[in-house]
C-alpha cells in the first residue's frame, strides 16, 4: 500500500458567536466594536458578519487537532474578554432562544447590502450561527473526490452538532432548527456529486456567466470544494456550545477525509448515494439529533442514529493514530452520553421553564474546558 502523507489533512475552523445583552439576554448589536478591538489582538482572525449581533472567528491553518484546540480556545477567550470589557456577553449556539430577527441591525457593507437586495427577508431572517471546518487536501481533484464520498456522512456528524432547538421564543421540536432557517437561501443543503473538478468549475462558471452569482463563495452547500484553497469545507453543523465539541466534530470530518483517501490509495471507492437519499437522513438529524433513526442505505433499513455514529467511529479508527486525533474522537462517546447542545439546552428549559436560563447556560459553556 502507498505511504500516505497524513500531514496534508490540516484543519481550519470558523465559528460564529452570538453577542448578548447581559441585562435582558437578547441579541445585541456591538456596532463592530468587538471586531475592531479584536483585530488589534488577533488581526484578521475575527470579522464582522451580516447581522451586527454576530462575530465570526477563524483559526490559522492547524497541523492537527491539538493546534486547533489551542487556536479555537484562544479565539473564544479573546472574544469573550473583549466583549466583557465592552459590556457584552458572548455565546455559541445555532440560534438564539428568543431574540427576533426583525429587531436586529444589519452591518453596513457593500457585500451584505447586495445579498439583502437579492435575497430580501430570507437574508434578513438568517440570524443563525454555524461551524465551518476546512480539511486540507493535496489537490483540488482529490478534494472533489473526497467531497463526493463524504456527503454520505454529513447527517451523522450534523446530528452530533445539533444545538438550535429554540427559535423566537418557541421550542421548535427540532434539535437543529438552524438548517430550516438557512434552507430559505438558494444553493444550500446537500450538494450533488461532480465527476471531475472540471465539471464543478464549469458549473461555477455557468452560474457566474448567467448572473446567478458573482463568485464561488455564494455556493452555500453543506460541503464544498473551497473556491480558493485546497480544502474540503464542511458547513452543515451548528456551532457547538463548547470548544471540546467543536474539536471532536472537526476531528471526525478530518478522520472521514483521511479514511476515504486511504481507501482511494487501495483502489477502493465508497458508494455514492443520491442527494435525495442523503437529504432524508439530514432531515432526520435536524429533527431528532442523535435520538432518532437514520437510514442505512446499504441495508435499506432504519438504524438507531447512535449505532450508526459508533459504526462511523469504527470506520475511521485506523487513521486516528496517524492523525493524532484519537483523544478528540474519544470525546464523542462522552458527547453521546451527555447529549448534544440541543439536548442540554432542552434539559435546562425543562428544569427551569425559562429561556433566559437557557441563554445563561449557553453563555456558561462558552469557555468551558479551556
Closest alpha carbon to 35 in 44, 45, 24, 46: 46
Query: 194, 148 in Cβ contact below 8 A?
Result: yes
Q: Is residue 172 part of a domain?
A: yes
pLDDT over 70, % of the chain: 99
Is residue 2 scored above 80 in pLDDT?
A: no
Mean pLDDT across 178-193? 96
> Would you tell me how many other CB atoms lie within 10 Å of the CB of residue 222?
22
Closest alpha carbon to 254 in 197, 332, 193, 346: 332
Mean pLDDT across 260-286? 95
pLDDT in tens, 29-64: 999 999 999 999 999 999 999 999 999 999 999 999
Q: Is residue 370 part of a domain?
A: no
Q: Is residue 1 part of a domain?
A: no
pLDDT-based confidence at residue 227 (cuts at 50, 70, 90): confident
Question: What is the domain extent for residue 324?
Answer: 6-365
In this structure, what CATH number is given to the domain that contains residue 161? 3.30.590.20
Q: Is residue 288 part of a domain?
A: yes
Set of cell numbers at residue 176: 437543529
Degrees (nearest 5) of the Cα angle 282, 283, 284?
90
Q: Is residue 284 part of a domain?
A: yes
Is residue 1 scored above 60 in pLDDT?
A: no
Is residue 75 scored above 80 in pLDDT?
A: yes
Is residue 331 scored above 80 in pLDDT?
A: yes
Is residue 83 scored above 90 in pLDDT?
A: yes
Is residue 117 scored above 80 in pLDDT?
A: yes
Q: Is residue 275 part of a domain?
A: yes
Set of cell numbers at residue 59: 483559526
Answer yes or no: pTM beyond 0.95: yes
- Per-residue HEC secondary structure of the chain comes to CCCCCHHHCCEEEEEEEEEECCCCCCECCCCCHHHHHHHHHHHHHEEECCECCEEEEECCCECCHHHHHHHHHHHHHHHHHHHHHCCCEEECCCCCCCCCHHHCCECCCHHHHHHHHHHCHHHHCCCCCEEEEEEECCCHHHHHHHHHHHHHHHHHHHHHHCCECEECCEECCCCECHHHHHCCCCCEECCCCCCCHHHHHHHHHHHHHCCCCCCHHHCEECEEECCCCCEEEEEEEECCCCHHHHHHHHHHHHHHHHHHHHHHHCCCCCCCCCHHHHHHHHHHHHHHHHHCEEEECCCCEEEEHHHHHHHHHHHHHHHHHHHCCHHHHHHHHHHHHHCCHHHHHHHHHHHHCCHHHHHHHHHHHCCCCC
pLDDT in tens, 240-263: 999 999 999 999 999 999 999 999
Spatial separation of the C-alpha atoms in residues 34 and 37, rounded to whole Å: 5
pLDDT-based confidence at residue 111 (cuts at 50, 70, 90): confident
Residues in the chain: 370
As for how many domains the chain has, the answer is 1
Query: 82, 38 in Cβ contact below 8 A?
Result: yes
Closest alpha carbon to 65 in 251, 333, 239, 340: 251
Set of cell numbers at residue 358: 437557557
- The predicted pLDDT at position 38 comes to 97
pLDDT in tens, 147-166: 999 999 999 999 999 999 99
Query: 82, 17 in Cβ contact below 8 A?
Result: no
pLDDT-based confidence at residue 73 (cuts at 50, 70, 90): very high
- The predicted pLDDT at position 112 comes to 86
Amino acid at each position: 500500500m502507498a505511504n500516505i502523507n497524513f500531514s496534508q489533512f490540516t484543519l481550519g475552523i470558523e465559528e460564529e458567536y452570538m453577542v448578548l445583552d447581559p441585562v435582558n439576554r437578547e441579541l445585541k448589536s456591538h456596532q463592530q466594536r468587538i471586531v475592531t478591538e479584536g483585530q488589534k489582538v488577533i488581526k484578521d482572525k475575527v470579522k464582522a458578519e451580516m447581522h451586527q449581533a454576530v462575530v465570526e472567528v477563524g483559526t490559522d491553518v492547524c497541523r492537527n487537532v491539538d493546534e486547533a484546540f489551542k487556536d479555537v480556545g484562544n479565539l473564544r477567550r479573546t472574544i469573550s474578554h473583549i466583549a466583557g470589557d465592552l459590556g457584552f456577553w458572548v455565546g455559541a449556539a445555532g440560534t438564539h432562544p428568543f431574540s427576533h430577527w426583525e429587531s436586529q441591525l444589519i452591518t453596513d457593507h457593500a457585500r451584505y447590502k447586495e445579498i439583502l437586495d437579492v435575497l430580501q427577508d430570507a437574508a434578513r431572517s438568517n440570524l443563525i450561527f454555524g461551524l465551518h471546518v476546512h480539511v486540507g487536501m493535496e489537490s483540488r481533484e482529490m478534494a472533489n473526490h473526497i467531497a463526493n464520498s463524504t456527503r454520505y456522512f454529513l447527517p451523522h456528524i450534523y446530528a452530533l452538532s445539533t444545538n438550535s432547538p429554540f427559535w423566537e421564543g418557541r421550542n421548535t421540536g427540532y434539535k437543529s432548527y438552524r438548517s430550516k432557517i438557512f434552507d430559505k437561501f438558494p444553493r444550500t443543503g446537500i450538494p450533488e456529486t461532480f465527476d471531475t473538478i472540471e465539471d464543478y468549475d464549469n458549473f461555477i462558471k455557468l452560474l457566474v456567466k448567467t448572473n446567478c452569482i458573482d463568485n464561488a463563495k455564494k455556493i452555500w452547500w453543506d460541503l464544498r470544494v473551497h473556491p480558493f484553497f485546497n480544502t474540503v469545507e464542511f458547513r452543515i453543523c451548528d456551532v457547538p456550545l463548547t470548544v471540546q465539541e467543536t474539536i471532536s466534530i472537526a476531528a471526525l470530518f478530518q478522520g472521514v477525509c483521511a479514511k476515504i483517501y486511504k481507501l482511494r490509495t487501495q483502489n477502493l471507492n465508497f458508494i455514492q448515494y443520491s442527494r435525495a437519499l442523503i437529504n432524508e437522513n439530514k432531515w432526520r438529524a435536524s429533527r431528532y439529533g442523535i435520538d432518532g433513526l437514520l437510514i442505512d442505505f446499504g441495508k435499506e433499513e432504519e438504524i438507531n442514529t447512535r449505532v450508526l455514529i459508533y459504526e462511523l467511529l469504527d470506520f475511521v479508527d485506523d487513521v486516528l493514530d496517524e492523525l493524532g486525533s484519537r483523544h478528540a474522537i474519544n470525546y464523542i462517546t462522552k458527547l453521546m452520553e451527555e447529549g448534544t447542545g440541543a439536548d442540554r439546552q432542552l434539559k435546562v428549559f425543562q428544569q427551569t421553564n425559562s429561556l433566559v436560563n437557557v441563554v445563561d447556560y449557553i453563555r456558561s459553556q462558552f469557555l468551558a474546558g479551556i
